[in-house]
Amino acid sequence: MTETTVPYVERAPGDLLTAEDWNTVQVKIHADIRSTSQAAADAVTHVASADDADHLEGKDLDALTAEVTKRVLDEVRGRSGYQQLVKVLRAGEITVLEHGLGTAPVVDLYKLEYFEVVCREDDETRAAFATFYLHHSEERRVRVTADDGTRRSIDIQPPDFPDLGIPFADMLARYQVEYTDTTTLDDLETEFWKAFYRDPNDQFGDDQYCHSPWFERCCKEQQTVRRLKQNGDWNDIVFQMRPRKSVNFAGTPAQGDNERGRNPRPANTFVQHLDNNRTAVWFEGTALHDAGLESRARDYIGAREFDSELKLMILLKA
């Protein structure tokens, strides 16, 4: 017997997919998932723990619906030809993106900027320059003790600027990290970094990502997802990165002792479509960084790596 699937929004080949169509698809996907999830939950006749009697795999209906919806929408984005990659470009090398989209995609490049954070690892709290950072949204400014014993504050959120950060739960859904309410934050972080750095993303250096003092305390205490939800902290855990690009911006040289030159973001970067399934990306010369805060990362990162590597977020859309 042949099943006939009725499209959410029926369109003929070549028709334009409008914003209204996309909104309708999302609403119908959410409704279908909710009804299917309820049916699955109703079908459960035995659970191992009384604490989970009203849950499926450690999640209640609302949490399960939200997670599955995010995963479905990420899958739709993937099938519609959208990819988001994080890559490390190296001087003198050409990075080939094996996207397999079957056509030359639109390519958008964002420089992943270094930003100062406070890392807590192995019972040590230190200032660092990271590309990716996990922290609590209330950790807006954190104090740290320098090697000379002086204490200073580091802005985790840039002052006089909108807040940055993606909910950690959204990142877990996007990279299909499995967990339940009994999973500890420590284990969850380990599995997240494994998934995040899986091909086609590049592996970044160990000194380029870390977590905050609050995050470390939760890991030490073996706090579970359930505990974090009960405490109201689960939705406040964020993943921060700072992808930035300049639009119609020409580099400006320093004009005086108190003036700083500025460079386009990303600078001297080139894209070449090789065929319908491969695209090359590279940069020429040394990696250019603005003077000031970002250039302060040079001593921490190391001069050779700082000048010869360019970290990018690359968006592809077929």
- pLDDT (tens place) for every residue of the chain, 318 residues total: 445 567 777 766 555 556 566 667 777 777 777 777 676 666 656 555 555 555 565 667 777 777 777 676 666 555 567 899 999 999 999 999 999 999 999 999 999 999 999 999 988 999 999 999 999 999 999 999 988 889 999 999 999 999 999 999 999 999 999 999 999 999 999 999 999 999 999 999 998 999 999 999 999 999 999 999 999 999 999 999 999 998 766 655 554 444 455 777 788 899 999 999 999 999 988 777 776 667 788 888 888 888 899 999 999 998
8 DSSP 8-state letter: S
What is the pLDDT, as a whole number, of residue 56?
A: 60
Per-residue buried b or exposed e for 44-64, using 16+ beta carbons within 10 Å of the residue's own CB:
eeeeeeeebeebbbbbeeebb
Give the separation between CA 134 and CA 216, rounded to whole angstroms. 10
One domain, residues 196 and 92: no
Whether residue 288 is contained in a domain is answered as yes
pTM of the model: 0.74
Do 235 and 174 have their domain in common?
Answer: yes
Domain check: are 138 and 171 in the same one? Answer: yes
Shared domain check, 135 and 218: yes
Domains identified in the chain, total number: 2
Residue given tokens 């334009």 in the structure block: 16
Nearest to 228 by CA among 62, 67, 58, 64: 58
Q: Which pLDDT value is given to residue 257?
A: 44
Query: 148 is in which domain, residue-wise?
Result: 114-242
Q: Are residues 223 and 194 in the same domain?
A: yes
